[in-house]
Structure 1
Amino acid sequence: MNKIKMFVLLGFASLVLSACSHSIARQPDFLGEVSAEQLLAQYPAFQDEYQSYQPSEKELAAVASLQDDSLVVLFGTWCHDSQREVPRLLKTFDLSGLDVPKLTLVAVDTKKNDPQGLAKKYALKYTPTFVLLKGDKELGRVVERPKTSLTQDLQSLSLITK
């Protein structure tokens, strides 16, 4: 009798856990090129950081040195560093009042792949990775967390080559 109760209890527990996993299904991750608007609209963690972040005057001024450059941002919607740094970059660009560099946002999966193969092209190891380009030449990159601020670190990379 105890074995029967045990099997019934295990069966019931499996059913409950299965139902719970369906009710808390998470939103699928973006993969490939995505717009800032889509990212902020569909991912609350990115929107929350965007709303709460207040860039400094130095960060806003640093955007000016990036106007002639391109920036490829490789990130994961699942990555806590991406959820912090990508919205901060977007907010700084938006508030700078300047023309921002050509910006390409590329979402990767947890294996760091994307449909266009940009993660492979840029040898992505860690997310987020911000690759600063002049034409097709890589000027440098900021990986995961900046040393000072993201735009100031990018500015330093841009000024090295000027």
Structure 2
Amino acid sequence: MYISFLNKIKYSALIILFVNLTLVAQEDKTPNDKDYTGLITQEDFRTGYTKKWFNKAYKAYEPNEEIVQQIKKPIKQYRIKVFMGTWCPDSRRETPKLLKLLDEVNFKEKNLEIYAMDHYKSTEANYEEDLDVHHVPTIIFFDKKGNEINRFVEFPQETFEEDILKIVTNQSYQNPYAEE
């Protein structure tokens, strides 16, 4: 009976240890883990498991230089939050374009936040809370006071840079999911 009691304690201890290790492993996810959600940087894209598709799409994108020049000054008045999925074809197409465009206009990285989301369009830390993110990528433009000005969602209405130009110059623009 005493041995049976000790075996139960050992099994209980093993179960508790396993549960704790599982929880710790989930908390230690990095942008290099495929199921990571949260803040992710351009450097993470370039060097992590995303580097193959990111670097290829970044290099392939050649924005219209005339439009880039028109975007250069007004975009600096904004803070940008990007919600994307590293698993999502639309995000894999549009996120490298955005980052190349921002590099072309010398956009300050401190004014950009990019969040990797899961298939449910959420992050473990709820960065998307109150932002009405239902499709990825969603690129939200905020003024310096933190008010949302407009957003690009999933795919361009014209071309990527033309859509961004309309947003940053306050021209009439609606993403495909905006309610009229």
SS at match of 1:66: helix
CA distance in 1, matches of 2:54, 2:36: 13
Match of 1:41 in 2: 47
In the alignment, which of 109, 132, 149 is matched to residue 139 of structure 1? 149
Residue 116 of structure 1 and its aligned partner are, at CA, apart by 2.7
- What residue identity is the alignment partner of 2:65? E
| Aligned partners of 1:142 and 1:150 also within 8 Å | no
| Aligned partners of 1:46 and 1:83 also within 8 Å | yes
Match of 2:168 in 1: 158
| TM norm structure 1 | 0.75
SS at match of 1:114: coil
CA distance in 2, matches of 1:33, 1:147: 27
Residue 146 of structure 1 and its aligned partner are, at CA, apart by 1.4
CA distance in 1, matches of 2:35, 2:53: 13
- What residue identity is the alignment partner of 2:58? Y
Alignment of 1:13-32 (within 5 A): 28-32=34-38
In the alignment, which of 41, 54, 79 is matched to residue 62 of structure 2? 54
Match of 2:158 in 1: 148
* 1:50/1:132 CA distance change after superposition, 3 Å: same
The reply on whether 1:113 has 2:99 as its aligned counterpart is no
Match of 2:93 in 1: 84
Residue 158 of structure 1 and its aligned partner are, at CA, apart by 2.7
Which structure 1 residue ranges, 5 or more long, are not aligned? 1-26
* 1:91/1:158 CA distance change after superposition, 3 Å: closer
CA distance in 1, matches of 2:168, 2:92: 24
Query: What percent of counterpart residues are identical?
Result: 25
CA deviations over 1:16-74 (Å, ceiling 9, x no partner): xxxxxxxxxxx623310111110122211112101211111134221321101011000
Higher normalized contact order (CA 8 Å, seq sep 6+, divided by chain length) = 1
| Aligned partners of 1:82 and 1:144 also within 8 Å | yes
| Aligned partners of 1:49 and 1:88 also within 8 Å | yes
CA distance in 2, matches of 1:100, 1:145: 24
| Aligned partners of 1:49 and 1:84 also within 8 Å | yes
CA RMSD of aligned residues (A): 1.9
* 1:58/1:149 CA distance change after superposition, 3 Å: farther
| TM norm structure 2 | 0.68
CA distance in 2, matches of 1:124, 1:76: 12
| Aligned partners of 2:64 and 2:161 also within 8 Å | no
